[in-house]
Amino acid sequence: MKENGRLVTDALDGRGIVVLDDDDLFLNEAKELFEGRVPTDRTMSDVERRVEDSEIDLVILGPSHAHEEALTQAGELIAADPELGVVLVTETVTAPLLKAALRNGLTDVIEAPLTVEKVEEAIGQIDRLQRRRAAGTMPPEPYATEPELGTVITVMSAKGGSGKTVFATNVAMVLGKMYSPEEIVMVDADLQFGDVCLVMQMEPKFTMVNAAQELHGLDEPMLDSLLTKHSSGMRVMAAPLEPAFADEISTAAITEVVEKLRAMFRYVVIDTASMLDELLLTLLERADKVLFIVDMDLPSVKNAKLALETLRLLKFPASKIQIVLNRSNSRARLDEKEIERSLKMKIMATVPSDGIVPASVNEGRPVVESAPKSKVAKGFESVAKLVISGKPPKKSDTSSDKPAKRRWL
């Protein structure tokens, strides 16, 4: 606790925090967390005075402020000092509460109990807000163009169980390592049976259902709050928790969410269901790159061929599609050249089959994290490089399984 308490003040860089609540229990907990180094106030006017008189950057509102009137007062405080970060701590975070908090300009709503990690996360958000604000106040360039938009990668396959989720999660993690996890967001667009959060050991509080419900007025801070944060810092827009909720989400809602996320993150990685329906076609249209996973078995290759023919008929640009072969060393080994001839496309990267993949899924840690030196992880790295450059990585970069092929033949 002592160590954690020190971390809090270090991370703050000398900036001040004040805790506001009229409940002794909460105030005592906060004092303990901050080793008594943080002042506490009981009323909003006390905080107002303190903010005016001293250097306060973060106000932590206790659970007794989880109502409209207190949030409006907090909004007035923020209006008077727009650089101020204000977070609300509450027993249960609900969508209406979150909406009211964000409408009033609060930085975030966090679930009780207050911990060092949560305070640090809030501080991180204030820094981000400040950076955004600073960017917003920069004078516009004479011929300012649209803000730079992130790259959307849609991961698809024409047959279920081909490895879409495993690819999407691992490639997103590699992109997070190459850039920063904070710059990567995943969208679980397998609306009925999405399992991105499951395989990443995350428990979403909000899902795409909330985003679809709040679509009107879904601004950046609100959307940010509906994302689930992975321990690495990467964000996920989770799929509905029950298949029945999928009906509540229109294709237009998902498209809007994706477009908004594109403005907030460097990469948007979308996991999909294996159904060539209106939703998938729309997500393909929106994509800058399509990772088309083909599993090393005949039905998978047959379905991939049919799906690619349909996409050609729809005049979908083939240049966006990158074919990647999963379980490339599988026993039911098909000839790669033959697969390419059948699909009329080149295989751009391969990932071998390995028992560490299902093990990593069960463990809730992507392979690139749990076994970064494995051939499978190297395969995902080569897929991520492919996504970035559009070119297959140099031979030395790939987890080439060519020698294995020669042995088989």
Contact code string over 250-279 relative to ligand ATP, x by CB under 6 A: ------------------------x-----
* Preceding peptide of 372 cis, ω within 30°: no
Which chain residues interact with Mg ion by CB under 5 A? 164-165
Contact status: 157 vs ligand ATP (CB under 6 A): yes
Task: Return the number of the residue (90 or 353) whose C-beta is nearest ligand ATP.
Answer: 353
Choose one: 8-16, 134-142, 163-171, 338-346; the region binding ligand ATP (CB under 6 A).
163-171
> Least distance (Å) from ligand ATP to the CB of residue 243?
13
Which residue has tokens 């908090």?
101
Is there a contact between 59 and 84 (Cβ–Cβ < 8 Å)?
yes
Contact status: 361 vs ligand ATP (CB under 6 A): yes
Could you say which of ligand ATP, Mg ion, none residue 163 binds, taking C-beta under 5 to 8 angstroms by partner kind?
ligand ATP
CA distances from 289 to 43, 170, 316 (A): 53, 16, 12
Contact status: 358 vs ligand ATP (CB under 6 A): yes
Choose one: 33-41, 158-166, 227-235, 296-304; the region binding ligand ATP (CB under 6 A).
158-166
Choose one: 9-17, 161-169, 228-236, 309-317; the region binding ligand ATP (CB under 6 A).
161-169
Q: How many residues does the chain have?
A: 409
Is there a contact between 355 and 323 (Cβ–Cβ < 8 Å)?
no
Task: Return the number of the residue (274 or 382) whose C-beta is nearest ligand ATP.
Answer: 274
Please name every residue paired with 271 in a beta bridge, in sequence order, or none if there are none: 155, 188
**What is the distance between the alpha carbons of residues 84 and 226, in angstroms, rounded to a whole number?**
22
> Least distance (Å) from ligand ATP to the CB of residue 11?
36
271 is written with which tokens? 């996991």
Please give the full DSSP string across 130-179, using - where no structure is assigned. HHHHHHHHSPPPTT--PPPPPEEEEEEESSTTSSHHHHHHHHHHHHHHHS
Task: Return the number of the residue (169 or 329) whose C-beta is nearest Mg ion.
Answer: 169
Task: Return the number of the residue (129 or 166) whose C-beta is nearest Mg ion.
Answer: 166
Task: Return the number of the residue (107 or 162) whose C-beta is nearest ligand ATP.
Answer: 162
**How many chain residues touch ligand ATP (CB under 6 A)?**
19
Contact status: 210 vs ligand ATP (CB under 6 A): no
Single out the residue of 285, 99, 103, 95 nearest to residue 209, CA to CA.
95
From 353, 374, 382, 398, residue interacting with ligand ATP (rule: CB under 6 A): 353
Is there a contact between 87 and 106 (Cβ–Cβ < 8 Å)?
yes
Q: Are strands 235-237 and 85-90 parallel, antiparallel or unpaired?
A: unpaired
41 is written with which tokens? 């106030």
Q: Are strands 267-271 and 321-326 parallel, antiparallel or unpaired?
A: unpaired
Contact status: 225 vs ligand ATP (CB under 6 A): no
**What is the distance between the alpha carbons of residues 49 and 20, in angstroms, rounded to a whole number?**
13
**What is the distance between the alpha carbons of residues 327 and 158, in angstroms, rounded to a whole number?**
15
> Least distance (Å) from Mg ion to the CB of residue 162?
9
Contact status: 351 vs ligand ATP (CB under 6 A): yes
From 63, 163, 181, 393, residue interacting with ligand ATP (rule: CB under 6 A): 163
**What is the distance between the alpha carbons of residues 79 and 231, in angstroms, rounded to a whole number?**
33
Contact status: 166 vs ligand ATP (CB under 6 A): yes
Could you say which of ligand ATP, Mg ion, none residue 348 binds, taking C-beta under 5 to 8 angstroms by partner kind?
none
Q: Which of residues 369-398 bind ligand ATP (CB under 6 A)?
A: 376
> Least distance (Å) from Mg ion to the CB of residue 185?
17
Single out the residue of 295, 296, 291 nearest to residue 405, CA to CA.
296
196 is written with which tokens? 């991105």
> Least distance (Å) from ligand ATP to the CB of residue 350?
10
For the beta carbon of residue 226, count every other beta carbon within 10 angstroms.
23
Contact status: 327 vs ligand ATP (CB under 6 A): yes
Choose one: 5-13, 87-95, 224-232, 355-363; the region binding ligand ATP (CB under 6 A).
355-363
Single out the residue of 228, 217, 222, 224 nearest to residue 194, CA to CA.
228
Contact status: 162 vs ligand ATP (CB under 6 A): yes
Contact status: 326 vs ligand ATP (CB under 6 A): yes
Task: Return the number of the residue (154 or 157) whose C-beta is nearest ligand ATP.
Answer: 157
**What is the end-to-end Cα distance of the chain in Å, rounded?**
61
Could you say which of Mg ion, ligand ATP, none residue 157 binds, taking C-beta under 5 to 8 angstroms by partner kind?
ligand ATP
- Write out the residues near ligand ATP by the rule CB under 6 A: 157, 160-166, 190, 274, 326-327, 351, 353-354, 357-358, 361, 376
